[in-house]
Structure 1
Amino acid sequence: MTMPMLFPRSDAAEGLKTAMRHYASGVTVITAGRGTARRGITATAFTSVTMEPPTVLACINRHGQTHEAIAEAGHFCVNILCEAATDLAASFAGMTGKAGAAQFDGFEWIETRTGAPAYADAQASIACTLVQTTGIGSHSIFIGRVEEISVNPDRAPLLHFNRGFHHLGARQ
């Protein structure tokens, strides 16, 4: 049996990064803005907050263009990716060399009621109006009131684990 890796408090940041790499999660692309001001980022830091009223949150680095786009536009869309969207996830994770609005090229987008771009082939898209922003450390927590949802239930999710994208495998 392998012994667990131990990280003292002085190295807690590295320990947390290591622990989070081993937390399997769904993959999203968070988008905001219109036209050439569109921006997006691949993210796993997303969750629902409450059903009454329907609310979600996304955590975004303050130093990125997507942070600025959400703050300026007052909206965002959480695109929950299906396993066929590995190329999209890579583009918005900065793995293809594309930046800014060019990351949207080659993929089909629908403008939501809020104005945020929704990926047409997403497993689900959740368009939100920004209602609150809370900063902590290097990130902001954007809280959004859900305005519009699109779901494609027949698609399998794309997962993130240990710095890579993975498929769920056979579904029942």
Structure 2
Amino acid sequence: MHTFVTGICVATTYTEVEGERRHDAVTVRSLASVSLEPPLISLALRRDSEFLTDLLAARVWAVSILDVAGDDLARSFSAPDRETRARALLTCATSPGPRTGALVLDAPGWLECTLHDWRDFGDHTVLIGRVTQTGGGRRRPPLVSLNGALHALADA
């Protein structure tokens, strides 16, 4: 699968801890469009991730589609521990999504989703989200993954 080019996104969700919202974010390479009517997307997340546990409890998330300026964000949100990802969230421009409250990064495109369905397959859970809001504006070439490395898609 390293030879298949995929876009790079950051998914965000949150959990309530002692009356406060704690946000988390992870790098995602598995975003796919499932349906246009209704608008549905899919993500695949490791079944053992804390992020997945939070997402299933909140039942909402946002996905920010990264461009070439987001390579540092992609690396930061790939960290296995929540604390490193939380520190990374503090260093980037975000705003709560108008429909879900999940954080939207300053990115060329973003989607807010509510949980529509999910299924476990192997070591991952595939989530189907109903898109409730979209936004963004194209600025730079998209960030993609190929052969295990991040690249700019210059011809886009």
The aligned counterpart of 1:42 is: 27
Distance in 1 between the 2:81 and 2:91 partners?
12
Distance in 2 between the 1:66 and 1:96 partners?
10
**Larger CA deviation: 44-53 vs 88-97:** 88-97
TM (normalized to structure 1)?
0.81
The aligned counterpart of 1:167 is: 152
Of the three residues 111, 120, 142, the one matched with 1:157 is 142
Distance in 2 between the 1:133 and 1:99 partners?
27
Q: State the superposition RMSD in angstroms.
A: 2.0
- Structure 1: give runs of 5+ residues left out of the alignment: 1-19
Q: Quick check: which has more Rg, 1 or 2?
A: 1
Distance 1:138 1:96, change over 3 A: closer
Distance in 2 between the 1:141 and 1:118 partners?
21
The structure in which a higher percent of residues are helix is: 1
Task: Give the aligned residue type for 1:22.
Answer: T
- Report whether the alignment pairs 1:55 with 2:40: yes
TM (normalized to structure 2)?
0.88
1:152 to partner: Cα distance? 1.2
Deviations 1:61-81 (A, max 9, x none): 011121111111111111110
The aligned counterpart of 2:3 is: 22
Distance in 2 between the 1:41 and 1:85 partners?
13
The aligned counterpart of 2:63 is: 78
The aligned counterpart of 2:102 is: 116
Question: What SS does structure 2 have at the residue aligned with 1:102?
Answer: helix
Task: Give the aligned residue type for 1:26.
Answer: G
Percent sequence identity over matched residues?
28
Task: Give the aligned residue type for 1:32.
Answer: T
- Structure 2: give runs of 5+ residues left out of the alignment: none
**Larger CA deviation: 150-159 vs 43-52:** 150-159
Distance 1:83 1:95, change over 3 A: farther
Of the three residues 132, 136, 140, the one matched with 1:147 is 132
Tell whether the 8 Å contact from 2:79 to 2:85 is kept in structure 1 after alignment: no
Question: What SS does structure 2 have at the residue aligned with 1:38?
Answer: strand
Question: What SS does structure 1 have at the residue aligned with 2:48?
Answer: coil
Distance in 1 between the 2:82 and 2:100 partners?
29
Distance 1:89 1:95, change over 3 A: farther
- Report whether the alignment pairs 1:137 with 2:122: yes
How many correspondences in the alignment? 151
**Larger CA deviation: 43-52 vs 30-39:** 30-39
